[in-house]
């Protein structure tokens, strides 16, 4: 994001197209998934298992049943509340308040994006030879600067008068 103005940030968030909203649905991975996939966060999809990190339902794990991109909320299996008339409804949760504990890798494209291969030792490029830098001359001390002759010589008064008459 290129602006720090809250007005413009709010506008960008709520007018974002669907492909941008999907990236904003990113959540951090658990430490075991971070080690295996070498990625710190990834967008949430239905079928992922998440652990709720904030709120009344903190610590509860469940499978994501629905992702609502228009309202920036996701719904987790087993997280419900009871309405006044007695019917149970799912509680919407913001993706920043959860941590992914298990990934749904049914999608081929998602599987390939998480595949990280370690670089082979034989394919590593040879290191370029290090160029030697020229050595700097040490700075002169203040006492040496005073003794050194000045490069510019002030013009004599006669030369200044001659220039004034011709110019």
- The string of pLDDT tens digits covering residues 114-164 is 885 544 444 555 666 677 777 777 777 777 666 666 666 666 665 555 555
Spatial contact of 114 and 42, defined as CB atoms under 8 Å apart: yes
Domains defined along the chain, listed by start: 6-114 (2.30.30.30)
Give the separation between CA 3 and CA 118, rounded to whole angstroms.
37
Spatial contact of 76 and 67, defined as CB atoms under 8 Å apart: no
In angstroms, what is the C-alpha Rg of the chain?
33
Contacts of 102 (CB under 8 A, 6+ apart): 33, 48, 49
Q: Check residue 60 and give its pLDDT.
A: 95
What integer is the mean pLDDT of 13-35? Answer: 90
Contacts of 8 (CB under 8 A, 6+ apart): none
Q: Check residue 22 and give its pLDDT.
A: 85
Q: Check residue 118 and give its pLDDT.
A: 47
Entry pTM: 0.64
Give the separation between CA 21 and CA 26, rounded to whole angstroms.
9
- The string of pLDDT tens digits covering residues 26-72 is 999 999 999 998 899 999 999 999 999 999 999 999 999 999 988 99
Give the separation between CA 110 and CA 132, rounded to whole angstroms.
47
Spatial contact of 91 and 78, defined as CB atoms under 8 Å apart: no
Q: Which tokens in the block code for residue 157?
A: 């008064």
């Amino acid at each position: 994001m290129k602006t720090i103005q809250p007005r413009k940030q709010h506008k960008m968030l709520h007018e974002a197209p669907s492909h941008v909203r999907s990236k904003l649905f990113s959540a951090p991975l658990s430490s075991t998934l971070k080690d295996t996939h070498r990625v710190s966060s990834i967008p949430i999809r239905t079928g992922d298992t998440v652990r709720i990190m904030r709120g009344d339902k903190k610590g509860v794990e469940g499978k994501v049943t629905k992702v609502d991109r228009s309202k920036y909320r996701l719904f987790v299996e087993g997280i419900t509340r009871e309405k006044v008339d007695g019917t149970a409804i799912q509680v919407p949760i913001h993706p920043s308040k959860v941590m992914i504990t298990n990934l749904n890798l049914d999608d081929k494209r998602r599987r390939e994006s998480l595949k990280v291969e370690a670089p082979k030792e034989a394919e590593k490029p040879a290191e370029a030879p290090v160029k030697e830098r020229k050595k700097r001359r040490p700075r002169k001390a203040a006492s040496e600067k005073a003794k050194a002759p000045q490069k510019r010589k002030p013009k004599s008064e006669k030369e200044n008068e001659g220039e004034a008459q011709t110019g």
